[in-house]
A and B are shown apart, each in its own frame.
Chain A
Amino acid sequence: MSAIGCDVAIVGAGIVGAACAYECARRGLKVIVVDGEMIAAGATAAGMGHIVVMDDSEAQFAITRYSQRLWQELRPELPDDVEYDQCGTIWVADDEEEIEEVHRKQRLYAERGVPTEVLDARELRDLEPNLREGLVGGLLVPEDGVLYAPCAARFLMERAQRHGANVRVGCPVTRLEEGQVALGGSQIRADILVNAAGTSAPELTPGLPIRKRKGHLVITDRYPGFARHQLVELGYLKSAHTLTADSVAFNVQPRRTGQLLIGSSRQYGAEHSEVDHHMLLPMLRRAQQYMPGLGQMLMVRAWTGFRAATPDKLPLIGPWPPDKSVWLATGHEGLGITTSLGTGRILADCLTGVKPEIDIEPYLPSRTAREQVHA
């Protein structure tokens, strides 16, 4: 059985795997990327492609903000089909409790140098006339953006290849351990194995605390100018918060084509990828409540995807203690696009002895191993 050798073997050609490949390859590491299907086959293809700062925890804020900055730096080099659009996010408030949340966020972001603007009801309607009347206000985060993730993943992968990375798609991986990636009839030997396989990660590294969290999305025909910013209800945070319940939240995103992307939903325990009416219908109904004009729009496609979710809502980035050759870059839940660049940078920094630019302790896989030990 022949074995190919390299420095870093990355399993998973989604946007996280692609970012890792790029960062490692351009530092001169010999990289091979393997995927059972193709580039961006999993959550990368299914998701909304947003680049947002989230502050559910300090650690989440740190990595989303860091990574968002990296996207801004990369922006001038992104080709057209990545459709990067710094449209900003408006967090929409429906009642006084949510307005308090607006102010809390504004203070938090101000302290950390993230520009924001508090909007009252009138300002909100001026910016987004198609939001329904009666909303109390919102928070504009102008540095957030959206992009078309499958093309972004391909771009990063192409960059990695230009620095000598080898990308092998259509090669299902059967084993990832002890310095070897087994691919059916052959093997890849590497000093470092990176599991960036998203929801498939636990199959390759047993014991990973990753669960699949299903989501639904709908895209409309072209209605240019209907929405100018990514729009999210503050209740989204409640939805993303809960670990067990199924939920929907208003989340609409304008694409550069003028199409509207409508989300979002979260559910556990659903294994099949078919559309679930009991999630999709309330999701659309909620979106219509926030933007009545959506009702009259033509809906062209609906689809589902699975997020890789961890118990503490933070990704797993770093060495996996039980096997010293295995590193993880997975568990990004709904923030994979945003934090992909940051993940790649952190991983490559660690592998090349460079001090990462943010504190990586909260993302280390050893935290879960510790929890297992203490359990």
Chain B
Amino acid sequence: MSGQMSSRGRRYFDVLVVGAGPAGMAAAISAAKCGLRVGTVDDNFHPGGQIWRTGSRGVPVAEAVRWFEAFERSGIDVLFGTRVFDQLERGVLLAETPLGISELGYGKLIIATGARERFLPFPGWTLPNVMGAGAVQAMVKHGLPIKGKRVVVAGSGPLLMAVSTYLLKMGARIPVISEQASWRSLARFAVALSGQRVKIGQALRLKMELARIPFSTSSWPVEAHGKDRVESVSIWRRGRVENIRCDYLACGFHLVPNTELASLIGCRIERGCVQVDDFQQTSITGTFCAGEPTGVGGVELALVEGQIAGLAAGERTAEACLLFRKRKRGMKVVSALEDAFRLREELRRLASSDTLVCRCEDVSFSRLQPYTAWRAAKLQTRCGMGPCQGRVCGPATQFLFNWNTESVRPPIFPVLVESWANLADKPNPEP
């Protein structure tokens, strides 16, 4: 990485990649291979994003090792601890870094901003130690002792199994995995993936490791109990409510694409996914998108989409075309996932009238019910006006009430006032 930048510096890259998860890493490596000057930014302090989170030691998971090595060897400039929050003008993004604000100029942009967990409200979900499934995994990777602790894993999606495998390996005790999808949905998922040898292998390995854990389908959390933190959780399974003691509740309902940056700069987004062409190019020429924001499809798909985007940004379209077949196979996962882990109706009725939906502003379910649109609800209750900027309550209200969340405005991430103020070129314009 080049030397210290001034607290207001403009850096220019032929290709700027936002996000250093699998898609971003693959895109950066491919673009660098084209001989371009590549820069990558990420809020974290190591590459890997969420699914390949290394923890503080920076040691990658086995299947990621070769990607990490290639990333490190590729001569890419990586800006860690860096959050993109605004577009200054076409071709220049603004980012907040540990050293101050940075203007990032680029010729081509690759958006690889990944996805986040979807949270749905249910009584007690705001108790400390109730977290997302990926969240518990991330916390353990960063030093949370979990050995001997009881963790109930709940919600929906393949993440639950992946997290459970990891937690088991770290010595946690998992009384149950509660998956809201039905057994039939999951069986269909497995069938849809046949032909995806890697996935089947993974699935079998997971199954073996999890054999000792009760895995309930058509099951969901009904209430988390505890005084200052979660002590037990009531789970609906096998036709009735069971109360299970736990130290942590790891609960997330599949993933939601992070489309805020794409939305800010004006990329076309449909049904919550950034629209791209065969070369991963968005509706804005020169801006590409790879990985979960184009449709949640897992690591393998993210890697191939990243490679295509990187090659396309480097105008090596012939090489990019060679990857189309692999991507096509990976796309099957996207629709299979959507289908298998579709959220069931019962989840709309988990919240009781005083269950909080907006955690930043403490807005309860009953206060939101009278509204038919997001904007009115926001204005009157301030739901969605807190620092999470609707990242938690937005997907929840979309599911609960069918509201459409609006287009984004800068800052797309809370930043310090001085990150904008110090950019002002001129003193106060004369009246």
Direct contact of A and B (CB under 8 A): yes
Enumerate chain A interface residues (CB-CB to B < 8 A): 38-41, 45, 81, 150-151, 154, 218-221, 235, 238-239, 241-242, 245-248, 262, 274-275, 277, 280-282, 284-288, 294-303
Residues of A within 8 A of B411 (CB): 299, 301-302
B161 CB, nearest partner CB in chain A, Å: 36
Shortest 4 CB-CB contacts between residues of A and residues of B: A295-B418, A285-B424, A284-B421, A281-B424
* Assembled-state Cα–Cα distance A298/B381 (Å): 21
Q: Closest CB of chain B to A333's CB: distance in Å?
A: 16
B61: interface (CB < 8 Å): no
Task: Indicate if B379 sits at the interface (CB-CB under 8 A).
Answer: yes
Q: Is the CB of B386 within 8 A of A295?
A: no
Shortest Cβ gap from A236 to chain B (Å):
10
From known contacts A300-B414, A302-B410, infer whether A285 and B421 are also in contact, taking CB-CB under 8 Å.
yes
Q: Is the CB of A281 within 8 A of B420?
A: yes
Q: List 29 A-B contacts (CB under 8 A).
A: A38-B379, A150-B379, A218-B417, A221-B387, A221-B414, A241-B431, A242-B431, A247-B428, A247-B431, A248-B428, A274-B409, A277-B88, A281-B420, A282-B427, A282-B429, A285-B427, A288-B417, A295-B416, A296-B416, A296-B418, A297-B417, A298-B387, A298-B414, A298-B417, A299-B419, A299-B420, A300-B386, A300-B387, A300-B389
B392-431 at interface with A (beta carbon < 8 Å): 409-411, 414-431
- Of chain A, the residue at the smallest CB distance from B94 is A277
A45 partner residues in chain B, CB cutoff 8 A:
379
Within 8 A of A (CB), among B80-113: 88
Q: Does B376 contact A (CB under 8 A)?
A: yes
Q: Considering the chains assembled together, what is the distance between the CA atoms of A41 and B415 in angstroms? A: 27
On whether the beta carbons of B421 and A247 are closer than 8 Å, the reply is no
Q: Tell me how many residue pairs across A and B have CB atoms closer than 8 Å.
A: 104
- B385 at interface by CB-CB < 8 Å: yes
**Given A238-B431, A302-B409, A38 contacting B420 (CB threshold 8 A):** no
Q: Which residue of B lies closest to A248 (CB)?
A: B428
B interface: dominant SS: loop
Name B380's contact: one of A151, A248, A262, A287 (CB within 8 Å): A151
Given contacts A235-B431, A282-B428, contact A298 B415 (CB under 8 A): yes
Residue B229 interfacial (CB < 8 Å): no
A262→B431 contact, CB < 8 A: no
A39 contacts B376, CB within 8 Å? yes
Q: Hey, which chain B residues are within 8 Å of A219, CB to CB?
A: 385
Quote the shortest CB–CB distance from A96 to chain B (angstroms).
Answer: 19
Give chain B nearest CB distance to A280 CB in angstroms. 7
Contacts of B429 in A (CB 8 A): 245-248, 282
Neighbouring A residues of B409 by C-beta, 8 Å: 274-275, 301-303
Closest to B419 in A: A299
Q: A301–B380 contact, CB under 8 A?
A: no
Known contacts A38-B375, A38-B376, A287-B421; A245/B416 CB under 8 A? no
How many Å lie between the Cα of A298 and that of B388 in the bound state?
Answer: 12
Complex CA distance for A288 and B421, rounded to whole angstroms: 7
Q: Are B380 and A150 in contact (CB under 8 A)?
A: yes
**CB distance B431 to A288 under 8 Å?**
no
**Given that A150-B379, A235-B431 are contacting pairs, would A295 and B387 also be in contact in the complex, using a CB cutoff of 8 Å?**
no
- Evaluate contact between A295 and B379: CB separation under 8 angstroms: no
Q: Measured between alpha carbons, how far is A221 from B417 in the docked complex, in Å? A: 11
Known: A221-B387, A300-B386. A281 touches B417 (CB 8 A): no
